[in-house]
Amino acid sequence: MQRIVVLNPKGGSGKTTIAINLASYLASRAHKPVLMDLDPQGSSFRWVRKRRTHQAPVQVVAAYENDGRTTRSFQLRVPASATHVIVDTPAALEAPELPDITRGADKILVPVLPSDIDIHACSRCIRDLLLVAKVRREDDRIGVIANRVRKNTLGYQTLIRFLQTLGIPIVATIRDSQNYVRAAELGIGVHEMKSYIAREDVEHWLPLIEWLDRPKTRSEEPGTIAPAAAIA
């Protein structure tokens, strides 16, 4: 079972959009994904509830709820048949929370928008993942997604230059498209839309899917954590 955490403490970066469309893709390929919704807004949970019975099944865990009648571990259980767990995290995560959130994650996706505020927030997020959560670059577990971009704009060019300085792979560049809005309203993902409508959007997901499918790589030698100044 692959555990994928979608994470960025900055609100509005598109975490839920990435999470639900990834779940949609996996379900449409006959996998058995589970969405674990940690966000109190419950957007991933509501998206799953919109899906119709004829659509490929996606299971969901309302992890943002606190049920005093059961233990937390029982509440967060996932079916043994699950092939993937996609964790949709809330905004405003503090650095000390990152080790618990990322523990056991095979891949960590960090979506970032092309704005100065979001670029600064992404820098801090990557720094905290490296220094606080102790995620090593050489393990190839962190991937950045340039989200809602419009190419040939100054904001996009600034974002790409920044991302190239991090030493973290840019695993996808997702364009600003109304197809994501329409799909979310219907309880589907862009991979489930008619091909002539969402062909370009689907193509943008190919590098991300390839990166997620890479086998785990663990260095035999201990990694060296970059100083905060190198990624600030």
- Tell me the domain boundaries of the chain: 2-216
149: which 2 tokens?
């971009």
CATH tag for 2-216 (out of 3.40.50.720, 3.40.50.300, 3.30.450.20, 3.10.105.10): 3.40.50.300
pLDDT per position as a tens digit, 136-193: 999 999 999 999 998 888 888 888 889 888 889 999 999 999 999 999 999 999 999 9
Angle 116-131/154-164 helices, nearest 10 degrees?
20
Spatial CA neighbour of 215 closest among 162, 129, 141:
141
pLDDT tens-place string over residues 97-117: 999 999 999 999 999 999 999
Percent of the chain's residues with pLDDT above 90:
75
What single DSSP character describes residue 38? -
Average pLDDT of the residues in 196-209: 96
pLDDT digits (tens, 9 = 90+) for 35-60: 999 999 999 999 999 999 999 999 99
**Long-range residue pairs from 213-218, CB within 8 A, at least 24 positions apart, any chain:** 214/140, 216/106, 216/139, 217/138, 217/139, 217/140, 218/139
Q: What angle do CA 138, 125, 200 make, to 5 degrees?
A: 80
Mean pLDDT of the chain: 89
Q: Region 76-96: what's the mean pLDDT?
A: 93
